Amino acid sequence: MNHLISHSAPRFTFRLFAVMAFAALLVLFSGGYTEANTINDYPSGDRSGWFVDMNRFAQSAHAALTCDDCHGTMMEGGRRHPDRTRPDFLKRSATRAYDYSRCGKCHQLAYERYQSGGHAEAMAAEQKAAGAGNGETRTAPTCGDCHVSHYDRSGLPRVDVGRRMIQTCGRCHPAHTHSYLDNNHGRLGVDLGDAKSAFCTDCHGAHTVNSLKNDHNALAACRRCHQKAEAEFANIVIHASLESAPTTETEKKRSLVWIERVRWISIAVVAISLAFFFGHSFLWLLREIHEKLRKH
């Protein structure tokens, strides 16, 4: 008897432990998987790390390159890094410290387009505002905010590239990303995975960053796919948020204002109904209490 107990108890504990360990692993891996594929790949500030996963690097578009092709010598300003005398060096955001003109050696077209686009312009304005040498207040993106140089692959399916933009562009343009997802193109492309639909860069360009507030530019973007589109086509609202409304008085702006008014009216109706409902229930409760007290 004694013999039996002493064996079965540890076995039971062991099984329980195994199940728990398995469950923990599942949780870890499911968490790890999504993290590895999302925003944490972009090294910046606290998330920076000096670990390079060579398995993923070997599968990336840049697998054939050497570290030196992008990093040059491991010297900066005459000092070898990591520099023990400057611990802050390690804490700097790598995306901000990196000199992206190096990418232009091999990706001349992308680099030139980026330089001529709205993001580079916004970056220049921010740097000017922050004063020379203080790049840390930046919010406009460089290559490294949208591309993970060590791990990005080439030749991904169009829909995968399009879905990634929801995270990449969505970090800084959340309102436009939400309104895009509510729109025909977002539903068709992101939800249903139809490669024919339009993703952010089909209309705005990845590096030129075209502003489409101007109807003429918008129509040109639409005509890439809706070849027979007439001038009125550009009046169609893609992002139903006042943030992207044209500055001049146009038909599109009027529709946006109406969309906004209807939204506020519906919010008001819901709020008033809720207030009435809870107010009514509260009064009813008071009445019940009153009745109960009266009976006693």
Q: Which of 127, 201, 208, 255 binds ligand HEC (CB under 6 A)?
A: 201
Distance CA 134, CA 126 (A): 10
Residue type, 149: S
Distance in Å, CB of 62 to ligand HEC, minimum: 4
Pairing of strands 79-80, 75-76: antiparallel
Decide if residue 207 touches ligand HEC (CB under 6 A).
Answer: yes
User: How far does Cα 204 stand from its chain's mean position?
Assistant: 16
* Terminal CA-CA length for the chain: 65
- The answer to whether 252 and 245 are in contact (CB under 8 A) is yes
Distance in Å, CB of 183 to ligand HEC, minimum: 7
- The answer to whether 160 and 67 are in contact (CB under 8 A) is no
Decide if residue 143 touches ligand HEC (CB under 6 A).
Answer: yes
Q: Is residue 75 helix, strand or coil?
A: strand
User: Applying CB under 6 A, what is the total number of residues that bind ligand HEC?
Assistant: 84
How far is residue 190 from each of residues 156, 194, 224, measured CA to CA in Å? Answer: 15, 8, 19
When the beta carbons of 86 and 107 are compared against ligand HEC, the nearer one is: 107
Q: Restricting to residues 7-36, name those near ligand HEC by CB under 6 A.
A: none
Distance CA 42, CA 31 (A): 17
Distance CA 185, CA 159 (A): 12
Distance CA 191, CA 185 (A): 9
When the beta carbons of 47 and 290 are compared against ligand HEC, the nearer one is: 47
Q: Which stretch binds ligand HEC (CB under 6 A): 32-40, 129-137, 152-160, 273-281?
A: 152-160
Distance in Å, CB of 264 to ligand HEC, minimum: 19
Decide if residue 204 touches ligand HEC (CB under 6 A).
Answer: yes
Decide if residue 58 touches ligand HEC (CB under 6 A).
Answer: no
Measure the CA dihedral 288/292/294/296, to 10°: 180
Q: Restricting to residues 157-186, name those near ligand HEC by CB under 6 A.
A: 161, 165-166, 168-169, 171-173, 176-177, 180, 184-185
When the beta carbons of 251 and 288 are compared against ligand HEC, the nearer one is: 251
Q: Restricting to residues 225-284, name those near ligand HEC by CB under 6 A.
A: 225-226, 233, 236-239, 244
Q: Restricting to residues 91-120, name those near ligand HEC by CB under 6 A.
A: 94-95, 98, 100, 102-103, 105-107, 110-111, 114, 118-119
When the beta carbons of 262 and 275 are compared against ligand HEC, the nearer one is: 262
Decide if residue 151 touches ligand HEC (CB under 6 A).
Answer: no
Determine the Cα angle at 137 with ends 99 and 127, to 5°: 60
Distance in Å, CB of 87 to ligand HEC, minimum: 14
